[in-house]
Structure 1
Amino acid sequence: MTNDLKESFSGDSPPAPAALAAKVRTLAPSMTRSMQRVAEAVAGDPAGCAALTVTGLAELTGTSEATVVRTARLLGYPGYRDLRLALAGLAAHQQSGRAPAVTADIAVDDPIADVVAKLAFDEQQTLADTAAGLDTVQLGAAVAAASTARRIDIYGVGASSLVAQDLGQKLLRIGLIAHAHTDPHLAVTNAVQLRSGDVAIAITHSGSTVDVIEPLRVAFDQGATTIAITGRPDGPVTQYADHVLTTSTARESELRPAAMSSRTSQLLVVDCLFIGVAQRTYETAAPALAASYEALAHRHTPRSTR
């Protein structure tokens, strides 16, 4: 990802208070340990931290004033004063009940009703975090590229392969030439055939999946427009991405692998991308979608003749 794109991810204006917690969850894994302590403190107790000076927060987290300021800037704020204002706003949201605290992890002995409630809350939080952190400028650029592409290749393995196939099927149904590649060898073989005017999309939550990065690198070298859908905006995959769409960083627990909630956030981004493309290509997309609906409607299980 270029410096311009990294600056675009950070945004020209500070994120809204409601987006602060989402940004902390997304960026914390890539921070230094000292910066993580600051980020965890402000996310865990926004009201308490909002009342602290930069010196006070540094002392609370066992870091330095410079670390506090660097953390604030990484989160998208010009300085600590702006971060304090956002913390006060986030605290007000939480007190009003509009930004509840993160639910506890699912325990082995949880009643099934609690499991349902906790999963539902986590899914909602994942979607909210992804929406809050999604850069609409990058999304718009990705939509524009895909809308006019001669061909779209999509790469994903493991849980991300399901998301890649979902996007590929959606794009095919509106008349675009799109292929989801889950075999890494075939992905590279096909990437070699791409050129300027084509689009390659890599889906990897970790941002470091070699089997996804390699075909994207090849596509990038061939001159195709490249897009990365990832939970790590600083991950290796972004080196070969013209546009980066960031998903929420999943909270992993013993009974809930990160792949579950990361897939939820990936599917939201995929749907946003698909709808954007369908809007831009509506004159051809609408008839193609209607034709696919009609074709599928005629498929049914034949009645027994016995």
Structure 2
Amino acid sequence: MSEPANPVAAVRAVLPSLTPAAQAIAKIILEDPGVVVRSTITEFSAVSGTSEATIVRTARSLGFSGYSQLRFALAAAVARDEPERLIPGDLGPDDPITDVIAKVTRAESQALADTAALLRPEEVAEVVDAIAAARRVDVYGVAASGLVAADMSQKLLRIGLSSHPFSDAHLALTSAALLRPGDVVVAVSCTGETADVLVPACTAQEAGALLVAITNNPRSSLAEAADHVLISAGRETAFRPGALASRISQLLIVDCIFVGLAQRTFDTAEAALRATKEAADTFRHR
């Protein structure tokens, strides 16, 4: 396992799957990574109320060889982000609208940066190749993730690829059961545990389709089942539940796939974009 490029984003992604003791360590990292930077392992053991052995195991589960390597990575992350820390991230009920704009912008920008750091280019390229060669692409997602699924499907349609979004589990299962090898399913779920997405996705995979997961949790059931996993990031706050905080990051992943596909199928994609634009323009100017 290679060290994550953004350790704070990596911690946030795996937080739900950690043991209670490891979660205590992870929450301190998320709230104030500087505590780790300033502390020896003995000092951090006292601060976190966990044993040194648990701290080492947690560091290794995050992709580091030990506590020292985790400290060095967090020190670099804190140094990079220090100017941005001048704008607190959490919104309060009495914040003026100027602070709302600044804090939401900060949160969205950070979510995009964290997602970019978590994405592996070779994985995205393999997903692009698979979709480009697919007979059909189904996209599953419910609630906020359902909006992302609809966005992805309409983008694929614009460049001439056969794609269908499903936010209803029964319809998704109906479609999934009829898929076959050469088809691709993209399942979008913040937690990776949403049954309405997970069950149809696994059904499609059993039918022979290739399964791509877009999720915040790399240790979720969906991620474990998927052939390809693309991790999105988003920090949950009082006014932005996890699924809403992840939406902008999920859309970034969708856009990366879309642009990669447009490059991969440039001649047909350009013609399809031109034809669909002309059709829409003609309708608007009737």
**Same fold by TM-score, threshold 0.5 exceeded?**
yes
What is the rounded CA distance, in whole Å, between the counterparts of 2:205 and 2:87 in structure 1?
A: 39
Deviation at 1:94, TM superposition (A): 3.5
SS at match of 2:63: coil
Say if 1:57 and 1:24 are closer, same or farther in 2 by CA, change over 3 A.
Answer: same
Are the equivalent residues in 1 in contact too, given 2:17–2:219 (CA < 8 A)? Answer: yes
Q: Count matched residues.
A: 286
State whether residues 103 and 122 of structure 1, in contact with CA within 8 Å, keep that contact through their aligned partners in structure 2: no
In the alignment, is the contact (CA less than 8 A) between 1:232 and 1:249 conserved in 2?
no
Partner of 2:228: 243
| TM-aligned CA distance change 1:276 to 1:101, over 3 Å | farther
Structure 2 Cα separation of the partners of residues 241 and 53 of structure 1: 39
- 1:130-180 per-residue CA deviation (whole Å, 9 max, x = no partner) reads 111123232222111111101101111111111111000000111111111
Conserved? CA contact 2:28–2:35, under 8 Å: no
Q: Which runs of 5+ in 2 are unaligned?
A: none
Name the aligned partner's letter for residue 4 of structure 2.
P
Q: Which moved more, 1:115-124 or 1:158-167?
A: 115-124
| 1:220-249: CA deviation from partner (whole Å, max 9, x where unpaired) | 101111011111111122243111111114
Specify whether residues 301 and 106 from structure 1 end up closer, same or farther in structure 2 by C-alpha distance, changes over 3 A only.
farther
Contact 2:140-2:166 within 8 A present in 1 as well? yes
User: How far off its partner does 1:294 sit?
Assistant: 1.6
C-alpha distance in structure 2 between counterparts of 1:158 and 1:51, whole Å: 41
Q: Confirm or deny: 8 A CA contact 1:216 1:226 kept in the other structure.
A: yes
How far apart, CA to CA, are the structure 2 residues paired with 1:134 and 1:101?
27
Provide Cα deviations, 1:176-212, integer angstroms capped at 9, x if missing partner.
1111112211111111111111101111111111111
Secondary structure at the counterpart of residue 100 of structure 1: helix
Given candidates 46, 71, 79, the residue that maps to 1:92 is: 79
**Helix, strand or coil at the partner of 1:153:** strand
Q: Of the candidates 30, 55, 64, which is equivalent to residue 51 of structure 2?
A: 64
Equivalent of residue 107 in structure 2, options 122, 131, 143? 122
Which residue does 1:293 correspond to in 2? 277
**1:239 & 1:20 partners in 2: Cα distance?**
21
Q: TM-score, normalised by structure 1?
A: 0.87
Q: 1:87 to 1:239 in 2, by over 3 A?
A: closer
TM-score by length of structure 2 reads 0.93
| C-alpha deviation, 1:104, in angstroms | 4.1
Alignment partner, residue 164 of structure 1: 149
Check 1:102–1:152 CA distance in 2 against 1; reply closer, same or farther (3 A cut): farther
- Partners of 1:286 and 1:69 in 2: how far apart? 52
Instruction: Report the Cα distance in structure 2 between the residues aligned to 1:46 and 1:160, rounded to whole angstroms.
Output: 30
CA contact (8 A) 1:191 1:215 kept: yes
- Detail structure 1 runs of 4+ shifted over 6 Å in the superposition: none
The alignment-based identity, stated in percent, is 46
**Kept in 1: contact 2:190–2:242 (CA 8 A):** no
Match of 1:105 among 63, 84, 90: 90
SS at match of 1:229: strand
Residue 261 (1) aligns with residue 248 (2): no
In the alignment, the residues of structure 2 paired with residue 248 and residue 49 of structure 1 have an alpha-carbon distance, to the nearest angstrom, of 22
What amino acid is aligned across from residue 210 of structure 2 in structure 1? T
Deviations 1:67-118 (A, max 9, x none): 11111112221222211221221232244x2x53672422222222222222
- Equivalents in 1 of 2:108, 2:212: separation in Å? 25
Q: Specify the code of the residue in structure 2 equivalent to 1:295.
A: A
Amino acid of the structure 2 residue aligned with 1:20:
P
> How many angstroms apart in 2 are the aligned matches of 1:200 and 1:132?
24
What SS class does the counterpart of residue 299 from structure 1 fall into?
helix
> Residue 133 of structure 2 corresponds to which residue in structure 1?
148
Tell me, what secondary structure is at the counterpart of 2:146?
Answer: helix
Residues 1:232 and 2:217 are matched in the alignment: yes
Corresponding residue number in structure 2 for 1:213: 198
Structure 2 contact 140–172 (Cα < 8 Å) conserved: yes
Pair 1:192-2:177 in alignment: yes
Q: Contact conserved, 1:175 with 1:285, CA < 8 A, in 2? A: yes
The CA distance in 1 between the partners of 2:98 and 2:109, in whole Å, is 17
